[in-house]
Every structure is written in structure tokens, then in C-alpha cells.
Amino acid sequence: MAVLTAVRSPARSIPAWEEATAARPCPVCGAAGECAVDAADPELALCRRRVSALPVVGGSWLHVLPRPARGDERPR
């Protein structure tokens, strides 16, 4: 997966991308592989199937997801 630093503030770390699985599918397209979510910031997702305004080198698209309401976080 590509490293994205332009969308993060300097105080934030480099994304730690976790690949989508059947147990944790892509929040954008629902796929069980190839896509990824930032482990430290679940508002960021890389989707290889759904286009966004933020293309990423390597063929993915960056999606900035809405922050889940308190108590609605996906279990790890």
C-alpha cells in the first residue's frame, strides 16, 4: 500500500494500513481483500474498487470516512 502523508498533519504518524479481510471488509466497497484501513485512524481507507477524488499511486483511492458515533466503533 502507498504511504500517504499529504492528508495528515505533521503531528500524526504515517498510516499503518491493515488489509481488508472477510472478518473486517473494506468499509467503502465491502471487499474482503486488496483494500485497507488505517489501523490508527479508521477514518482513512484505501479502496481499489471505488473511485474518489484522491487517487493514490499504486491504483487505490483514498476515502475519508465519517467518524463513527461514540459506541459505534467497529470491534477489532
Does 35 map to a domain? yes
Does 70 map to a domain? no
Does 48 map to a domain? yes
Does 27 map to a domain? yes
pLDDT tens digits for range 25-69: 999 999 999 999 998 888 999 999 999 999 999 899 999 998 767
Does 5 map to a domain? no
CA triplet 67, 33, 45: central angle to 5 degrees? Answer: 25
| Residue that wins the pLDDT comparison between 3 and 31 | 31
Does 3 map to a domain? no
The set of cell numbers assigned to 15 is 498510516
Q: Is residue 8 within 8 Å of residue 15, measured between CB atoms?
A: yes
> Domain range holding 47?
17-64
Instruction: List, as own/partner pairs, every contact residues 44-51 make where C-beta atoms lie below 8 angstroms and the sequence separation is at least 24, other chains included.
Output: 44/4, 44/7, 44/15, 46/1, 46/2, 46/17
pLDDT tens digits for range 22-34: 999 999 999 999 9
Does 45 map to a domain? yes
Does 8 map to a domain? no
pTM (2 d.p.): 0.70
